[in-house]
Structure 1
């Protein structure tokens, strides 16, 4: 079972997510809570995945994220937001979030996205991703600079980057394009270096912004 904690200041949102996810045979929402109790709840329940509201009145979602990331065995955290363009998302991704979801995500997608997170994948709404970065200060200059970095990748490295954005492990990437896991690992290291990013999540987001993924495609794991 994938153990999930939902953190949101609105009781209706918490109950809605619990109802939707609870219908899946392999997912259990072990707790829902507002932000002030989030860290204590996560310590107690030891979930695999936390869905965390990015904007809460009692405590800032970014503060909760930093505290969760500092735990000895931190859960995977994805941010929840109402806004297509939320400047906090950029900071959250740079602080270790594994992606973000709009709160109006289709219910039939939600369980699969949680499975993707639990498997180590990345989940990012393409609509929100574009809006976030277009609204980010200096977005145009950043886009130009990122395009230059992507241009340094070899064709094989671009292939690997797209599969990283799909949430595949090194072994799965190797199986997909007929390379050893060790060779894929070398490609991933080169990609992170050339893109000047510190994680697969950041590389996946850059791939989405660079147009390497389809317009309607989520950055996510297998099956989506």
Structure 2
């Protein structure tokens, strides 16, 4: 059972997400909270996945993310937002969030996203993240350097990177490409090193900018 906590200042969002996720057999929303109460609830329930509103009036999501980053047992965290081009979301991704969800995510996709997060994947809906990146583009020199690094990846590494950006865990990538878990782990480590990034989210964003995920809008 995947244990989920939803932190959002809007009661309608909390109740709606709870209803959708609790209708699935393998996911349970164990608590929901506002930003003010979030840390206490997270400490008590120890969820596998945390869906965290990026903008809240008293204690915002970025503040909570930074506090949780210092804890060894922190859950997988995806930011919730009504904006698909929001500098706060990009800051959260750079600070260690495993992705972001739009609050108008289709109900049937929501459970898929939560499962991806629980399995160690990332969640970046491609069209939304492409608009996000387009609104906050890096400098031309940075883009050129990143494109050059992506170009150094082997065909297999580009396949693995594409699946990382689609939100698949190492085990799922192995199943898709008929590779052992250790081999996938080695590929991911090599990709992160070649791209010069710290984690899967930054690698997924690089894949987005490199055009490895054209016109896709599935869980990623």
TM-score (norm 1): 0.90
| Alignment partner, residue 85 of structure 2 | 85
For residues 100 and 210 of structure 2, the distance between their equivalents in structure 1, rounded to whole angstroms, comes to 18
Q: Is the 8 A contact 1:165 1:219 kept in 2?
A: no
Cα distance, 1:219 vs structure 2: 5.1
| Alignment partner, residue 153 of structure 1 | 153
User: Residue deviations 1:60-81, cap 9 Å, x none?
Assistant: 2101011122223101100001
Secondary structure class of the residue paired with 1:113: helix
Structure 2, unaligned runs of 5 or more: none
Cα distance, 1:105 vs structure 2: 0.5
Alignment of 1:115-134 (within 5 A): 115-134=115-134
| Alignment partner, residue 26 of structure 1 | 26
User: Residue deviations 1:42-98, cap 9 Å, x none?
Assistant: 000111111000000011210101112222310110000111100112211121111
CA RMSD of aligned residues (A): 1.8
Greater CA drift, 77-86 or 172-181? 172-181
| Alignment partner, residue 67 of structure 2 | 67
For residues 38 and 81 of structure 1, the distance between their equivalents in structure 2, rounded to whole angstroms, comes to 17
Greater CA drift, 209-218 or 122-131? 209-218
Q: Is the alpha carbon distance of 1:18 and 1:170 closer, same or farther for their aligned partners in structure 2, counting shifts above 3 Å?
A: closer
| Alignment partner, residue 96 of structure 1 | 96
Q: Is the 8 A contact 1:113 1:123 kept in 2?
A: yes
For residues 97 and 127 of structure 1, the distance between their equivalents in structure 2, rounded to whole angstroms, comes to 18
Q: Is the alpha carbon distance of 1:4 and 1:182 closer, same or farther for their aligned partners in structure 2, counting shifts above 3 Å?
A: closer
TM-score (norm 2): 0.91
Q: Is the 8 A contact 2:51 2:80 kept in 1?
A: yes
Determine whether 1:6 maps to 2:41: no
Secondary structure class of the residue paired with 2:100: strand
| Alignment partner, residue 47 of structure 1 | 47
For residues 152 and 55 of structure 1, the distance between their equivalents in structure 2, rounded to whole angstroms, comes to 38
| Alignment partner, residue 135 of structure 2 | 135
Greater CA drift, 142-151 or 191-200? 142-151
Secondary structure class of the residue paired with 2:6: strand
Secondary structure class of the residue paired with 1:29: strand
Q: Is the 8 A contact 2:5 2:31 kept in 1?
A: yes
